[in-house]
Structure 1
Amino acid sequence: MRKLAIGAAAVLAATLVTVPPAEAAPDLASLVTLKDVRKHLQSLQTISDYNGGSRAVETPGYEISVKYVVSQLKKAGFTPTVQPFSYTSVEERTPTVLARTAPGQATYKLGTDFTLSGETGNGDVNTSVTAVDVPAPGQVGDAGCEAADFAGFPQGNIALIQRGTCSFEQKFNNAKAAGASAVLFYNRPDEPGLLNPLLNGKRDVPVAFATRELGGELAKLAQAGGLKLRLKVDLAEVTKKSTNVIAETRWGRSDNVVVVGAHLDGVHEGPGINDNGTGSAAILAAAQKIHKLGKKQIRNKVRFAWWGAEEEGLRGSTAYVAGLSAEERAKIALNLNFDMLGSINGIRGIYDGDDSSGQNPTVPPVGSGAIEKTFADYYAKRKLPTIETEFSGRSDYGPFIEVGIPAGGLFSGAEVIKTPEQAKLFGGTAGQPYDPCYHQACDTIKNIDWKLLDTHADGVAFATQAFAKSTLPVNGETRRARSLRGPAMQYKGDRAVY
């Protein structure tokens, strides 16, 4: 009996040894390689090279970029849809002018020193400037927020107002009531760059926005007395057309959709390889491999989207969201957005979905914080540093959060200057922009930090797989009416949204 028992045990042990181990679930972050992403970026660069050096909307470079994405999706088994849309834009009939006519003379550059509000009126104003309630040096202040700030304002002068505390709309209305012939906002001292002052509808006087550097210089001159500016705006409305590319997985719940998007267009000045070839290439690589996860891993339908005319003011994503019925919107669980992932002096930024920094101009929809945490936990596990980046609505997630759909994503940085603390975390050069070629001709395939892009592409794939399987932390995986998602996007202060 003892010999028999020993023999049986040996047979059992042998049987256990020969049982093959259970296969691990496929990992999309491992399936999507930097080589895949690089191949798509090289293709977009070639398309640009042979088509005028640009992939902007209404150019051959953009149209062929659309055909390339469609072709790649079809090879991966998708049935993509090319969704046309049209929008109203403005073009200069004659050149825009902002110039100092006294004391001395100076001419300022559109797009560098100043920009126009999307709701600006036309006009040609050459007159004195009044700086309104100028805050103390280095302070944000609340210039122009009260009607009393305009006490004694000279009728017909240009109002020069620093951004801060209250909305651009409120500041503008106070200036117009005081008789301003034009309004020139300028950025607050703690933030660089240019914004689009958000106003509610077209105005009948010119409205522009200057950098903090130019605004501070003009404010000193205005306080000293004798400052005169010429602000000339002569725009005409035109109708433009573009397209989005949409493709979704064959598996997954159609009432709990994960929208994964990136804008495909660039600016006219260059090929737009970092902005936003990187985001477009990363989600294309993820789309090509996602069906390898199998039906069990794709429980929620994933809808990939390549947006058109983002650089024209989020036109493609706006048209898409506006074209959805309330029922269709309610079926979207969340939006992931990837816009600039390989900035050569960049950061590993995660949209601040829980507003823990307190710097967001909007109140993020409920569930956005869970998306942020999903990215943060993933990179923390890999011991890769991250920082929160402003959830401003500046990219194509904006139209989604505006109607209460949770959103999140990654961002490697644009024109903002890298701090010494960030240089310690991510390497690179402090005091220089994240992307020194932002919106320029040098935004080519040479303008990429491949190591940073590789880790961002991993994050794209990881989050896509995680939410394809479950959106429990974001929305409880329950289908709900739009009214149950909470209010539409709320704005805090006057932080503008493109």
Structure 2
Amino acid sequence: MSALRDRLRPAVVIAACAGLTLTTAATAAAQPSPGDRLGDKLARNVEVGKINRHLIAMQRIADSTGGNRAASTEGYNRSAEYVAGKLEAAGYNVTRQEFPFTYTETLAESLTVDGTDVPIIIMSYSPSTPEGGITAPLAVIEPDDTPGCEASDYGDVTGQIALIQRGACTFAQKQASAADAGAVGAIIYNNVDGELNGTLGDPAAARIPTGGITLADGQALAGQEGAEVTLDLRALQEERTTYNVIAETKTGRKDNVVMAGAHLDSVTEGPGINDNGTGSAALLETALQLGGSPKVNNAVRFAWWSAEEFGLVGSTHYVDSLSFEQQLDIALYLNFDMIGSPNAAYFVYDGDDSDGVGAGAGPYGSAQIEQSFVGYLAENGVETEGTDFTGRSDYGRFIEVGIPAGGLFTGAEGIKTEEQAAKWGGEAGVAYDPCYHQACDTLGNVDRVALDRNADAMAWVTGKYAVSTEEVNGVAPQEAKSRAEVAKQRAAQRSLATMAAHDHAEAA
């Protein structure tokens, strides 16, 4: 019996293999990929309670250092060292990238029109008015497809304060065109509901005092051509240095890096717990759960940017510090800026421009990144909407040099619609984050359900791409080599199985 059993065993195995070939292939196709499995593990381990502990740390740091965590302040430096210390303990290669920037702090922002006060927000890097402001007639610039983007839009507005609608070009270009036409100040009003909080981007390009107001206030002022306006916008400006925190795994390919980032700095007005403690804390916990030496094919590089609130300075400096070859080493960039807004939306960056709004599609691969986030959240019962690549966050410079990008966003000063409230809950007609860029952006300003969901999506997508970026940029050389080796092994196994079957047939 034993000899017969030994002789028959190969036949049983071969028959089983032959009979199950198609079934096994179908089962394998239905099973999660290695990237999905790593993503699932990370999503389970990145718990909102652990993320909240990091948020508590940021709140306490801000409370004990003047109320904020703005770039170059003690609050920022302590936040950065909190992050860096945990990453070093987790085994990451951590670097602190120092860079210069122009620090600004608001001293005055007011607008009075024929004796009536209108809320206004000074734009970052705006030149200051004299103390007490400037008083001049209001010049209403008729909006067109490119409102206020060319000097010809203005006519002669010498000595006047221009009222300009947002859209089609940067705030910096609008104020420069107004200055070319002779304006002494610029008021830019929003083209959607909500406050307008912007930046002129580069202090060297800023020419006249510029502030932002709401759409409703702008439309009201549009009927007051020639009204007497007093504009008082003043800010402290001085040159300072700050630093990004960059952490990279010790394992994985260094020429096909998966990069994920969030800005760590707050505005000067408050502690910045939603903006952007939420993105920073979730990113930190994802990195800690992944660990410094994970079993991944691609290295993962995490970044906590500084001076985002001063015009994306830290992320721009980082990308510009890379050679073209070093930029090629980055397979993709994932961005997480405000992922726990208290009246949360569920936005995914519109990588394929399927919404057809504003900017076009992101670089090749951005559409696939978008679908990874949309698919994961949909599988977990969360319907999403696209959000345009407006250039307002740290993905901006990555996209400009052709690096595919994507990420998540729960909304800032924009207003939640009735349809969105019906879909996601929350309150229609109210900002996604009513405390955006204010002192009330505290621990009480976070929707932890939204934070939990988005952190899981962050962890899952990061884990997926740490294993393979094939869907984003094709089969990488090492992946192709691995597949070739697998094909060889399977061919060898088939050959051995054929020989065994032949031997069995002869024995029978």
- Please tell me the TM-score bracket, short chain as reference: 0.7 to 0.9
CA separation in 1, counterparts of 2:67 and 2:170?
A: 39
CA separation in 1, counterparts of 2:329 and 2:173?
A: 36
How far residue 368 of structure 1 moved from its aligned partner, in angstroms, is 1.1
Q: Deviations over 1:45-77 (max 9, x none)?
A: 232333333222233222221221122112212
Partner of 1:450: 448
Matched, 1:115 2:125: no
Matched, 1:45 2:59: yes
What secondary structure, in the 3-state scheme, does the structure 2 residue paired with 1:80 have? strand
CA separation in 2, counterparts of 1:173 and 1:310?
A: 23
Partner of 2:257: 257
8 Å CA contact 1:158, 1:184 repeated in 2: yes
8 Å CA contact 1:350, 1:386 repeated in 2: yes
Partner of 2:196: 194
Partner of 1:159: 162
CA separation in 2, counterparts of 1:381 and 1:308?
A: 34
CA separation in 2, counterparts of 1:32 and 1:380?
A: 19
How far residue 235 of structure 1 moved from its aligned partner, in angstroms, is 5.4
Partner of 1:221: 224
Matched, 1:98 2:111: yes
Partner of 1:492: none
**CA 1:347–1:338 in structure 2 vs 1: closer, same or farther (change >3 Å)?**
same
Partner of 2:244: 244
Structure 1 window deviating more from structure 2 (193-202 vs 392-401): it is 193-202
2:329 corresponds to which of 328, 331, 339: 331
Partner of 1:345: 343
**CA 1:254–1:242 in structure 2 vs 1: closer, same or farther (change >3 Å)?**
same
Partner of 1:390: 388
8 Å CA contact 1:263, 1:307 repeated in 2: yes
CA separation in 2, counterparts of 1:2 and 1:331?
A: 59
What secondary structure, in the 3-state scheme, does the structure 1 residue paired with 2:461 have? helix
Matching residue's letter, 1:192: G
Matching residue's letter, 2:286: A
Q: Deviations over 1:205-226 (max 9, x none)?
A: 333333212221211121xxx4
2:312 corresponds to which of 314, 330, 333: 314
CA separation in 2, counterparts of 1:88 and 1:282?
A: 28
**CA 1:337–1:204 in structure 2 vs 1: closer, same or farther (change >3 Å)?**
closer
Partner of 1:58: 72
Partner of 1:482: none
How far residue 299 of structure 1 moved from its aligned partner, in angstroms, is 0.8
Higher share of residues assigned helix: 2
CA separation in 2, counterparts of 1:352 and 1:96?
A: 34
What secondary structure, in the 3-state scheme, does the structure 2 residue paired with 1:220 have? coil
Matching residue's letter, 1:239: E
2:43 corresponds to which of 12, 17, 29: 29
**CA 1:331–1:429 in structure 2 vs 1: closer, same or farther (change >3 Å)?**
same
- Number of aligned residues: 451
How far residue 256 of structure 1 moved from its aligned partner, in angstroms, is 1.0
8 Å CA contact 2:112, 2:118 repeated in 1: yes
What secondary structure, in the 3-state scheme, does the structure 2 residue paired with 1:185 have? strand
**CA 1:90–1:49 in structure 2 vs 1: closer, same or farther (change >3 Å)?**
closer
- Structure whose CA Rg is larger: 2
CA separation in 2, counterparts of 1:258 and 1:146?
A: 40
2:136 corresponds to which of 127, 130, 136: 127
Partner of 2:353: 355
Matching residue's letter, 2:442: T
CA separation in 2, counterparts of 1:478 and 1:214?
A: 53
**CA 1:422–1:208 in structure 2 vs 1: closer, same or farther (change >3 Å)?**
same
Structure 1 window deviating more from structure 2 (455-464 vs 430-439): it is 430-439
Q: Deviations over 1:315-366 (max 9, x none)?
A: 2212211221222112111111111111221022111111111223355222
Q: Deviations over 1:195-214 (max 9, x none)?
A: 43658852543333332122
8 Å CA contact 1:122, 1:204 repeated in 2: no
Partner of 2:89: 75
TM-score normalised by the chain length of structure 1:
0.81
CA separation in 1, counterparts of 2:42 and 2:121?
A: 43
Partner of 2:99: 85
CA separation in 2, counterparts of 1:371 and 1:403?
A: 17
8 Å CA contact 2:266, 2:272 repeated in 1: yes
What secondary structure, in the 3-state scheme, does the structure 1 residue paired with 2:93 have? coil
Q: Deviations over 1:367-423 (max 9, x none)?
A: 111110111111222232111122212111112112221111111112211111111
What secondary structure, in the 3-state scheme, does the structure 1 residue paired with 2:205 have? coil
How far residue 43 of structure 1 moved from its aligned partner, in angstroms, is 2.2
**CA 1:436–1:165 in structure 2 vs 1: closer, same or farther (change >3 Å)?**
closer
Q: Deviations over 1:286-322 (max 9, x none)?
A: 1112149942xx1111001111122222222122112
**CA 1:353–1:185 in structure 2 vs 1: closer, same or farther (change >3 Å)?**
same
Q: Deviations over 1:462-487 (max 9, x none)?
A: 111111111122222559xxxxxxxx
Q: Deviations over 1:213-262 (max 9, x none)?
A: 2221211121xxx4011234555641112121111111111111111111
Identity across matched positions, percent? 45
How far residue 194 of structure 1 moved from its aligned partner, in angstroms, is 0.7
Q: Deviations over 1:254-285 (max 9, x none)?
A: 11111111111222332222221111111111
8 Å CA contact 1:117, 1:209 repeated in 2: no
Matching residue's letter, 2:122: T
Partner of 1:180: 183
CA separation in 2, counterparts of 1:466 and 1:220?
A: 54
What secondary structure, in the 3-state scheme, does the structure 1 residue paired with 2:266 have? coil
How far residue 460 of structure 1 moved from its aligned partner, in angstroms, is 0.8
Unaligned runs of 5+ in 2: 17-30, 478-508
CA separation in 1, counterparts of 2:123 and 2:59?
A: 30
CA separation in 1, counterparts of 2:213 and 2:121?
A: 4
Partner of 1:486: none
TM-score normalised by the chain length of structure 2:
0.79
**CA 1:167–1:249 in structure 2 vs 1: closer, same or farther (change >3 Å)?**
closer
**CA 1:400–1:181 in structure 2 vs 1: closer, same or farther (change >3 Å)?**
same
**CA 1:83–1:432 in structure 2 vs 1: closer, same or farther (change >3 Å)?**
same
Q: Deviations over 1:113-137 (max 9, x none)?
A: 233364657666422122122x5xx
The alignment's C-alpha RMSD in Å is: 3.3
